[in-house]
Structure 1
Amino acid sequence: MKQKVIRLSPPQLLVVTFLFFIILGMGLLKLPFATTEQISWLDALFTTTSAMTVTGLAVVDTGGAFTLFGEVVVMSLIQIGGLGIMSFAVLIFMMLGKKIGFKERLLLQQALNQTSVGGVIKLVKYLFIFSFIVEGFAVLLLATEWVPEFGWKRGLYVSIFHSISAFNNAGFSLFSDSLMGYVGSPIINLTISFLFILGGIGFTVLVDLWKSKTIRQLSLHTKIMVIGTFLINVIAFMMIFVLEFNNPNTLAQLSLSDKIFASYFQAVTPRTAGFNSLDYGNMERSTLLFTILLMFIGAGSASTGGGIKLTTFVVISLSMIAFLKEKKEIRIFRRTIDQAHIFKALALSMISVLLVFTALFFLEMTEHDASFLSLVFEVVSAFGTVGLSMGITGSLSAIGKWIIIVVMFAGKLGPLTLAFSLSRPDKEKIRYPKEDILTG
């Protein structure tokens, strides 16, 4: 009797592989020599999920609860989760001299969110070379601040950990207050933000910028990402600077230069980075609402960040403008956006809204001591794999932690990837007549 072979689609295999590494990490963190204090299985699972999804939400103090071994486990999961499991698999295949088949290329296409299979292997090579060079250079810069403070051994280790965490948009820090102790440090602020902006803009964009000799040669995706990232960061900086300027718990007590650095850092970090140099629990409600929007939008496609992605937000915004102007096509930079991308953007946004709403609905039933705004902030932060919090993560109930775990997992893999992993392709070829309905 023949055994039935279970064949998994690329989205399904991606989900299973992610789950495997999360469970493996949980087991490693439960080893006696991985922690300085006893942590529950649920807290270990929460930590490894947060690390693999490069979120940064923490139920225990990373620098205090884990030994060097435990911290290295977390750091390794961040690197694997940020650059991609399939990317590391391809790297091992190339090092062993094995041929990479079409199935592996399909998995890479899914993992890196590419539109075609062609060029994915070359993209992976660029990804690793660029990532390790940037992380290494950042370690040297951060070491100039932390080696004099902690000594060579500790200073270099802290620099390596934060470099990996920042480039992969994880937001994990070895300091209990994240980077609040370095609110006015130019080296820390600029280096860390440079890392997570590069990681969040997307590897496809970085390769395109490297290969293109003129602006005209840049792809439409690259143009939208570069200009969109610049505009949204500038707007966010001005908004936070104005909204928090007179807040005695954030900017009011700082010097002008420190206010500028703090406003800049808090403006760019919600794009899935997770580090903070100000206490979000003391920010104005208007600032928190604006930050929630930034976290929901997220970073770029094929990046280490999460959210619905900046390009999705741009496509939806352009669709709205085109509808109001009664245009049949969406045009930008003398190019027309294909209707398939519009449908994908709408589907992704709708699924994301439903995911956030569902998680918030259940958290409202379990977390009675938390305010509604803090729960919205927590859920959107988990979905966008940001890692920012108003300070309620550690006090979540067991059910609340499970809800956030699911949201982080869905946010990293992408709502569409999870939907495709559960759905079956529609093979029906029958077409039906059209009929109008009333909308709006």
Structure 2
Amino acid sequence: MLEFLKPSNWSTSFQLVLSFILFAFAGSFILALPMMQHEGVDASYFDHLLTAVSLVCVSGMAALPIGETYNIWGQIVALFMIQIGGLGVITIINTGLYYLHRKIPLKDQYILQAALNRDTNANFLSFLFSIYRFTLYFELAAAAVIMIDFWPRYGFFKGAFNAFFLSVAAFTNSGLDNVGVNDMEAFARNPLILITLAALIIAGGLGFSVWFELRERMNRYLAQRPRNFKLAFRKLSTHTHLVLQATAFLLVAGTVLIWLAERSNPATIGNERFGVQVLASFFKSASTRTAGYATFHYQDTQPFTKFVYMILTIIGGAPGGTAGGIKVTTVAILYFLLRSELKSYSEVVYNRRVFPSSLVRQAVMIALFFVVIASIGYGSLLLTHPHLDSLDLLFETMSALGTLGVSLNVTENLNLFGRIVIMILTIAGRVGPITLLLAVLQRKSPTIHYASAEVLIG
């Protein structure tokens, strides 16, 4: 028992989970201080804790509205927690250790390598700092665009801060804002804000390795004489090609399905003109993949639309990015596994490439992990809240596990146990897939061969 208390004996998976939990507790204590809140705020420490977990796990399921609960200092703390949670606690810690001239342990490099979707440790610190520079440049550029609308709306200083807060929150896929409970609905017909936020959400969800490969290809294109776009961008890596293809498919399919289900619903977009309907549907398609911004109430949508939201939420973004969920590559591998079985292929094939069996097993394990955790969480909520709508509880479960952070007015009606379940689901959805993969990669068990077992299925 005493040996386990030594940090040197902790597994890297345990360290990763513990870092998120400790950071959430530290943030909750700071946010609970009266000096961080507006006067007259009446909230329990548990509300601040749930909000802190939401901030660190970049989930919008905050128990308290950021702008109406916390003053400028509290909002700065919240902004810091969102940024740290989006980029990853471990990456920040290790970068700090580097500046203190302490060597980064090789096992921690493998944590970052797995979390950021890299297959090499070469120039790792340079890669990390490239992530931070890219993030800052993207967030500042988007904040400058948002300022076009926010400057006349809120004034220069408040508009600048709100624009940067919203930009960081969207890029990290947190879905949080500090503009007020219902103020996001004011942007429902604002293409400048909606398109900018959607671009931030998509950019954060693509993953940094994808962006860096696209940047390298763009540099190659600009250096060509004469320039040839097809030559510079042909033969993208399998990962980048798959992520871009899957992301485009989900965005288009989500937009079409949401529009078809809601085009006649007067409570959402039924009374809007066609252009506004398409824009709102596209924004929802991008936002529900773990961001969760709401320009109209989620509870007013059709049951089928809520089902589409849950599917998009649980899929999430790409590995190595700021989005949560199972990841688009995992779902794609499962799809190609099914297709290969139906076509009687001996291997799982995509774009004339074969997925290794170990990769396929990892995809299956991640999917099973989400199914098991979702079943336990949903069952717990059903057992302890029989008076609440079962569909709403399912949506709450998927929203927490996918770090979407959207509630159908259910969170406020949950008891203490239910809120604890939501916090556990949120943390599991944020760090679960990474820690699961690390546990598999670190397991070094001897190869044992047993006799074959025959079992009838189907």
**TM-score bin (small chain):** over 0.9
1:75 positional shift: 1.1
List structure 1 segments (4+ residues) > 6 angstroms apart after TM superposition.
Answer: none
Deviates further, 364-373 or 195-204: 364-373
Q: 2:165 aligned to 155, 158, 161, which one?
A: 161
List alignment gaps of at least 5 residues for structure 1. none
Q: Which residue of 1 aligns with 2:435?
A: 417
CA RMSD, Structure 1 to Structure 2 (Å): 2.1
Q: Which amino acid aligns with 1:42?
A: F
**Shift in CA distance, 120/381, structure 1 to aligned 2, threshold 3 Å:** farther
> Following the alignment from structure 2 to structure 1, what is the Cα–Cα distance between the partners of residues 445 and 421?
34
Mapped contact 1:184–1:257 kept (Cα < 8 A)? no
List alignment gaps of at least 5 residues for structure 2. 221-231
SS in structure 2 of the partner of residue 179 of structure 1: helix
> Following the alignment from structure 1 to structure 2, what is the Cα–Cα distance between the partners of residues 128 and 416?
20
- Matched residues, percent identical? 28
Mapped contact 2:205–2:322 kept (Cα < 8 A)? yes
Mapped contact 1:262–1:278 kept (Cα < 8 A)? no
Q: 2:201 aligned to 196, 199, 215, which one?
A: 196
Deviates further, 250-259 or 211-220: 211-220
Deviates further, 265-274 or 391-400: 391-400
Q: 2:287 aligned to 263, 266, 269, which one?
A: 269
Q: 1:11 aligned to 6, 10, 13, which one?
A: 13
SS in structure 2 of the partner of residue 306 of structure 1: coil
**Shift in CA distance, 178/106, structure 1 to aligned 2, threshold 3 Å:** farther
Q: Which residue of 2 aligns with 1:281?
A: 299
Q: Which residue of 2 aligns with 1:33?
A: 35
Q: Which residue of 1 aligns with 2:409?
A: 391
Q: Which residue of 2 aligns with 1:210?
A: 215
Q: Which amino acid aligns with 1:73?
A: V
1:427 positional shift: 2.5
> Following the alignment from structure 2 to structure 1, what is the Cα–Cα distance between the partners of residues 27 and 308?
34
Q: 1:306 aligned to 299, 324, 334, which one?
A: 324
SS in structure 2 of the partner of residue 21 of structure 1: helix
Q: Which residue of 2 aligns with 1:252?
A: 270
1:96 positional shift: 4.4
> Following the alignment from structure 1 to structure 2, what is the Cα–Cα distance between the partners of residues 78 and 156?
18
Q: Which amino acid aligns with 1:65?
A: T
Q: 2:364 aligned to 346, 353, 357, which one?
A: 346
> Following the alignment from structure 1 to structure 2, what is the Cα–Cα distance between the partners of residues 163 and 361?
36
Mapped contact 1:197–1:268 kept (Cα < 8 A)? yes
Q: Does 1:356 align with 2:356?
A: no
Deviates further, 315-324 or 41-50: 41-50
> Following the alignment from structure 2 to structure 1, what is the Cα–Cα distance between the partners of residues 166 and 13?
30
Q: Deviations over 1:258-277 (max 9, x none)?
A: 21211111111111111121
Mapped contact 2:198–2:287 kept (Cα < 8 A)? yes
Q: Deviations over 1:171-196 (max 9, x none)?
A: 11122036211001011001111001
> Following the alignment from structure 2 to structure 1, what is the Cα–Cα distance between the partners of residues 103 and 444?
32
SS in structure 2 of the partner of residue 251 of structure 1: coil
Mapped contact 2:12–2:111 kept (Cα < 8 A)? yes
Q: Deviations over 1:376-405 (max 9, x none)?
A: 111111111111222222222111110000
> Following the alignment from structure 1 to structure 2, what is the Cα–Cα distance between the partners of residues 376 and 255?
32
> Following the alignment from structure 1 to structure 2, what is the Cα–Cα distance between the partners of residues 9 and 408?
21
> Following the alignment from structure 2 to structure 1, what is the Cα–Cα distance between the partners of residues 289 and 183?
16
1:53 positional shift: 0.5
Deviates further, 3-12 or 421-430: 421-430
**Shift in CA distance, 139/419, structure 1 to aligned 2, threshold 3 Å:** closer
Q: Deviations over 1:271-314 (max 9, x none)?
A: 11111212111000111111111111111101101110000000
**Shift in CA distance, 185/246, structure 1 to aligned 2, threshold 3 Å:** same
**Shift in CA distance, 339/422, structure 1 to aligned 2, threshold 3 Å:** closer
Q: 1:184 aligned to 168, 186, 189, which one?
A: 189
Mapped contact 2:263–2:269 kept (Cα < 8 A)? yes
Q: Which amino acid aligns with 1:186?
A: P
1:91 positional shift: 3.1
**Shift in CA distance, 421/269, structure 1 to aligned 2, threshold 3 Å:** same
Q: Does 1:137 align with 2:155?
A: no
Q: 1:172 aligned to 162, 173, 176, which one?
A: 176
Mapped contact 1:385–1:408 kept (Cα < 8 A)? yes
1:215 positional shift: 3.0
1:95 positional shift: 4.1
Q: Deviations over 1:11-55 (max 9, x none)?
A: 111112111111100110111112231321211111111110001
1:97 positional shift: 5.0
Q: Which residue of 1 aligns with 2:335?
A: 317
Q: Which residue of 1 aligns with 2:47?
A: 43
Mapped contact 1:315–1:345 kept (Cα < 8 A)? yes
Q: Which amino acid aligns with 2:28?
A: M
Mapped contact 1:348–1:416 kept (Cα < 8 A)? no
Q: Deviations over 1:138-157 (max 9, x none)?
A: 11000100110110011111
Q: Deviations over 1:295-337 (max 9, x none)?
A: 1111110110111000000000110010011111111111111
Mapped contact 1:410–1:418 kept (Cα < 8 A)? no
**Shift in CA distance, 9/113, structure 1 to aligned 2, threshold 3 Å:** farther
Q: 2:351 aligned to 333, 349, 358, which one?
A: 333
> Following the alignment from structure 1 to structure 2, what is the Cα–Cα distance between the partners of residues 421 and 409?
17
Mapped contact 2:115–2:319 kept (Cα < 8 A)? no
SS in structure 2 of the partner of residue 414 of structure 1: helix
Q: Which structure 2 residues correspond to residues 221-240 of structure 1 after superposition, within 5 A?
A: 221-240=239-258
Mapped contact 1:170–1:273 kept (Cα < 8 A)? yes
Q: Deviations over 1:195-237 (max 9, x none)?
A: 0100011111111111234333421010000011011101111
